[in-house]
Structure 1
Amino acid sequence: MTWRFALVIEPVASDDSRTDFSATFREIDPSAPALSVGELSTQRGDGIFESIGVVDRHPQETQAHLDRLVHSAGLCDLPSPHLEQWRQAVDVAAAHCPPEGEGVIKLILSRGVEHGPTPTAWVTAAQAADNTAVRKRGVRVVTLDRGYGIDTPARAPWLLLGAKTLSYAVNMAAIREAKRRDADDAIFVSSDGFVLEAPTASLILRLGDRYVTPAPNGGILHGTTQLSLFEHLAAQGLQTGYEVIPVASLARADAAWLVSSVRLAAPIRAIDGVDVAVDEELTASFNRYLLSPRD
């Protein structure tokens, strides 16, 4: 991924009444060093982020991503981001994405420099990887134990299991383990036998005429792309739902997808070595919708 643009943000209070925040932005060279050695995002992964897909310079689902950034900040005891400030930063970054094709904008809010007075915040823009093949070909996945029970997030909120934090070492390790098992990706499951999510994506299953996703009460990050796709399906009169899904239900799925902001809808073609039917026409319709302008 080639970074095209980077913007440092001077965070302001969430109740700041100004309408123009351009004076709080500072463009920097995306290829040059920019962070202090005392920065807690790199020392401890102590911060949060969002990745916004961009199509023809149009940032997708900006409001949903900003709302989730605020939610993550609350879980992590970070200052609440000013929505309008960050929205304007997204617009500036989008202008530096490719005029045609796909890009990605990342929003990062860190606790800042150790013993420093304020958080650190920045936004980047880059051209997205070409996901055309995986959207059509699909992915092979394996199930991996996430190491906690379905009720753990409610009992131990300090684990931050519902926040999109910069601490992604476990997620990346899971993908490497999946590849060691001759798969492309993973689906996390709870230690007591329930389906959770993928390391960087939400899971959608088609069970008969219903489209279901794991209920976001087990430390699951509520996916912006999954929410949008469910709205699209509901508008067509199709049944969608959030359920506590036993691992055994994966074998009953008529079709399954991993969905995320940049890869979009990738059909699952095998789970733990067992083939899953791929509905190519339906998947193509999902991705046509997800590539259309969405606010």
Structure 2
Amino acid sequence: MSQRFALILGPVGVGQERADFAGTFTVVDAAAPALSVGELSTQRGDGVFESIGVVDSHAQEVTAHLERLANSARICDLPEPNLEQWRQAIAVAAAECPAGEWVIKLILSRGVEHGPTPTAWVTAAPASDFTAVRSAGVSIVTLDRGYPLDIAERSPWLLLGAKTLSYAVNMAALREARRRGAGDAVFLSSDGFVLEAPTASLILRFGDRFITPAPTGGILHGTTQLSVYEFLAGRGFETGYEQVRASDLGRADAAWLVSSVRLAVAITAVDGQSLPVDHALTTELNKYLLSPRD
């Protein structure tokens, strides 16, 4: 196959039950024109997406990603996606991925402006090589997101709990982190609580207890964070969700950014302050995250 693969998903009635959705997929050349100029995903970023890691043709954490896609669609008032159709499309795309690490993206857009149906498609492409950063770790800076912790509940129109295509702010945060000499960033609420990274979840270790900021206040519930917690629970560690003060970051015995494609990356410093790194556990986490998981 070529280095990229794409499927356009045809419309399916909400709740429609069927065993085989193969006839609803159209294979297209990912390098060729495929979207209308009136497509709202490109005009306004009006849509939602998921990125799924693929290891040796096996798509990881598919159920968790599909559940989050459906939740994002609900928050954005998009039609409910038919998850079995998406699951079968993911299987088709994963089967086209050669050995190694790839990434499948699911995109659900509101469609063409004034059009009758949403637009949906799936792409597969080689993943970037994250071997070095998984080994060396990354320094981070903290950035004010500009909202208090409870803003998502008070202002749902901000769509903070959805994984939307509007990622300009996230990318700007990463550029700002690099301007400050760091490799990544972690957002803080305006009232001093830790949120998440622009493209990853945060996990902190205090002794034998691991915590992550509670998935409220516009924090996405990370699919890889859930897998990490499964691994840690199997090792006998305590895990939990808490509201984390910004001042707690520097007290952690270790910390990681975790995401579907980059996997587990140890945090080496926060705002210039060194943080302990557990290299052995990081290696174990990534070995687990690279194993087949549904």
TM-score by length of 1: 0.98
Q: Deviations over 1:159-193 (max 9, x none)?
A: 10000000000000000000000001000000000
1:155 aligns to 2:154 (yes or no): yes
> Shift of residue 256 of structure 1?
0.4
Find the aligned partners of 2:206 and 2:156 in 1 and give their Cα distance.
31
How far is 1:101 from its partner?
A: 1.0
Q: How does 1:1-40 map to 2 (within 5 A)?
A: 3-40=3-40
Question: CA–CA distance in 2 between the matches of 1:170 and 1:274?
Answer: 25
Question: In 1, Cα distance between the equivalents of 2:94 and 2:249?
Answer: 38
Counterparts of 1:276 and 1:11, CA distance in 2? 49
Kindly report which structure 2 residues correspond to 1:27-106, keeping only aligned pairs within 5 A, or say none: 27-98=27-98, 100-106=99-105
Count matched residues.
Answer: 293
**Hey, what's the Cα distance between the residues in 1 that align with 2:13 and 2:209?**
43
- Determine the C-alpha separation between the residues in 2 that align with 1:17 and 1:68: 21
Deviation larger for 231-240 or 256-265: 231-240
Q: What's the counterpart of residue 176 of structure 2? A: 177
Structure 1 unpaired stretches of 5+: none
Deviation per residue, 1:56-98 (Å, 9 max, x gap): 0000000000000000000000011111100000000001112
SS of the residue corresponding to residue 268 of structure 1 reads strand
Report the alpha carbon displacement of residue 13 of structure 1 after superposing the two structures with TM: 2.2
Matched position secondary structure for 2:78: coil
Provide the rounded CA distance (Å) in 2 between the counterparts of 1:48 and 1:3.
Answer: 24
- How is 1:142-221 mapped onto 2 (pairs within 5 angstroms)? 142-221=141-220
Match of 1:259 in 2: 258
| CA deviation string 1:99-139 (max 9, x = no partner) | x2100000000000000000000000011111111001000
Structure 2 distance, partners of 1:267, 1:14, is 42
Q: CA RMSD in A?
A: 0.8
Structure 2 unaligned segments of length 5 or more: list them: none
Asked whether the 8 Å contact 1:45–1:166 carries over to 2, the reply is: yes
Alpha carbons of structure 1 residues 68 and 286: separation in structure 2 relative to 1, 3 Å: same
Any residues of structure 2 matched to 1:232-247 within 5 Å, and which? Answer: 232-247=231-246
Letter in 1 for 2:74: G
Task: Measure the CA separation in 1 of the matches of 2:100 and 2:58.
Answer: 10
Structure 2 residue 123 is matched with structure 1 residue 124: yes
Report the identity percentage.
71
CA distance in 1, matches of 2:14, 2:229: 30
Contact 1:3 1:30 in 2 (8 A): no
Q: Distance in 2 between matches of 1:166 and 1:225?
A: 20
Specify the SS of the correspondent of 1:86: helix
Deviation at 1:3, TM superposition (A): 4.9
1:135-162 per-residue CA deviation (whole Å, 9 max, x = no partner) reads: 0100010000001000111100111000
- Partners of 1:166 and 1:154 in 2: how far apart? 21
1:43: how far off? 0.4
Q: CA offset at residue 213 of structure 1?
A: 0.2
Give 2:27's aligned amino acid.
E
Q: Distance in 2 between matches of 1:8 and 1:73?
A: 18
* 1:256 partner letter: A
Deviation for aligned residue 1:11: 2.6
Shift of 1:22: 0.7
